[in-house]
Amino acid sequence: MLTSYIQAAMRKARYELLEDGEYYGEIPGFPGVFASAHTLETCREQLQEVLEGWILLGLQLGHELPEIDGIQLTMRKEAA
């Protein structure tokens, strides 16, 4: 499920070539998930790394992550 979520989010990514020749990428609906690099491929790789860290931190902190393509990630709370 995590892999499907990441793949779905990455399909929503938007990239642009900036005036300085850098590529910039972000995923709409995922605040703070962005990257920039000299090549499009490196930008994609960095964007996915940022997304993965964002997901892990969000789950650890108990944040509600956006649903994407019908996939919702939530952290189960263990009974005490």
Q: pLDDT in tens for each of the 80 residues of the chain?
A: 899 999 999 999 999 999 999 999 999 999 999 999 999 999 999 999 999 999 999 999 999 999 999 999 987 666 55
The helix or strand, by DSSP H or E, that contains position 37, with its residue range, turns out to be strand 34-37
Domain 2-60: top CATH class? alpha beta
- Please give the Cα distance from 17 to 34 (Å, whole number): 14
Residue written as tokens 């499009």? 40
Residue written as tokens 């009974």? 79
Beta strands 14-17 and 23-26, pairing class: antiparallel
Residue-range domain boundaries for the chain:
2-60
